[in-house]
Structure 1
Amino acid sequence: MNLANRLTIARICMLPFFILFMELGGFYNSVLALAVFCAASITDMLDGQIARRSKTITSLGIFLDPIADKMLISAAFIYFVNIPMLGIAAWMVIIIIAREFIITGLRSIAAARNIMIPADKSGKCKTVSQIVVIIVIMVILIAREALFEFTGLTPDTLRLYDFGSYTALSLIMEKMPFWTTFVAIMLTVYSGVKYILRYRKLFSENG
């Protein structure tokens, strides 16, 4: 097994640890979850570059790499839905996951016809935007946990403090998760539509 594929498999193996640390919660576990996610994201960037430069692109790598990405990103967004303060609605995550299923199906149809659909710039921008959004949201969660860990505040007592409707803290903690996710969704939809229009002939029997 080549180095690129090992990195991809390593990324998949990181997923349970990411979920575990997120589930345990608290400041230190949240920091560990962010570290695991960043490490996994770095392997995502490296495995493709290594495979191309060393000319070791394999069918296994082509199959596993997008699956590893989808598993990691989907797990993060699904977990965020269960945190009310983030304001991330289920429909937002459904759109992200649905796009991945549709494009995966498109790639499967193409593969059956010996056609390879490479990732284009819009697809790469989509992935980068999702990773950045997840990191931003996790930093916000860590900042919130830091308040509890180092100031003695609790979620209940935090509500008693009036930070003001337009303060930076209020905007960051209450507005940024939703709007950054919304921007990522727009890029996700744009990328998906672009793929479908470009390869729409694959859906026809004679395409």
Structure 2
Amino acid sequence: MNLANRITVARIFLVPVILFFLLVNLNLPPIRIESFSITYNQIIAVLIFIVAASTDSLDGYIARKRKMVTSLGMLLDPLADKLLISAVLISLVEMQKLDAWIAIVIISREFAVTGLRMVGLQQNYPIISASAWGKWKTGVQITAIIALLINNFPFTFVHVPFDLIASWVAAIITVYSGIDYFLKNKTLLELK
């Protein structure tokens, strides 16, 4: 297994670590600043999430730069992304920080696109790479998740619901990028 694929696998293994810190109560006192409050668990979880999310660009860069692009990597990379985003979104719903419908919309799009990619692989269709909208989608999803994980800091002090706005924008861009993805690969759906 090459370096890029190892980084991808590491991202997968970070998912349960993030979930542990999000969902297990360690009974540590929260940090409070005026009306703002955050637990140490959330701080640790968001830091690990940022590291895991940043490996998405890193593994792709290394694979292309060192000419290490493999079929395993092309399969694992999007799978690792979906696991990371889906697991944290579900955790945020459990923590009552995110409406379930937003998580369902985002996760449904991810399953649909992954399914289309798998159909493409089975039919030896050229690799379906992420579009600019797909990259925007990922960036906005990560931004929304971080805002939710840090309890809307620092926007909570100026009473701007940035976390809510970012969640809605993530849902809208996710749907649009999914439609764009299917339209650009509609010939794959016509193959028998």
Q: TM-score, normalised by structure 2?
A: 0.86
How far apart are residue 79 of structure 1 and its match? 1.2
Show the counterpart of 1:89: 99
Aligned pairs for 1:186-197 (under 5 A) are 186-197=172-183
Aligned pairs for 1:1-207 (under 5 A) are 1-25=1-25, 27-84=39-96, 86=97, 88-115=98-125, 116-140=127-151, 169=157, 171-172=159-160, 175-205=161-191
- The structure in which a higher percent of residues are helix is 1
Q: What SS does structure 2 have at the residue aligned with 1:114? A: coil
Distance in 2 (alpha carbons) for counterparts of 1:133 and 1:92: 11
Between structure 1 and structure 2, the one with the greater Rg is 1
Distance in 2 (alpha carbons) for counterparts of 1:125 and 1:15: 22
Query: Which ranges in structure 2 are unaligned for 5 or more consecutive residues?
Result: 31-38
Distance in 1 (alpha carbons) for counterparts of 2:43 and 2:165: 23
Runs of 4+ in 1 over 4 A off after TM superposition: none
Q: Percentage identity across aligned positions?
A: 42
How far apart are residue 170 of structure 1 and its match? 7.3
Q: What SS does structure 2 have at the residue aligned with 1:140? A: coil
How many residues matched? 179
Give, as a single letter, the amino acid of the residue that structure 2 aligns with 1:89.
D
Q: Deviations over 1:8-65 (max 9, x none)?
A: 0000111111000001245222111111101101211100000000010011111111
Query: Which ranges in structure 1 are unaligned for 5 or more consecutive residues?
Result: 145-166
Give, as a single letter, the amino acid of the residue that structure 2 aligns with 1:110.
G
Show the counterpart of 1:147: none
Give, as a single letter, the amino acid of the residue that structure 2 aligns with 1:118.
S
Distance in 2 (alpha carbons) for counterparts of 1:138 and 1:60: 31
Distance in 1 (alpha carbons) for counterparts of 2:115 and 2:64: 24
Distance in 2 (alpha carbons) for counterparts of 1:183 and 1:196: 20
| Range moving further from structure 2, 15-24 or 197-206 | 197-206
Distance in 2 (alpha carbons) for counterparts of 1:48 and 1:76: 22
Distance in 1 (alpha carbons) for counterparts of 2:131 and 2:140: 14
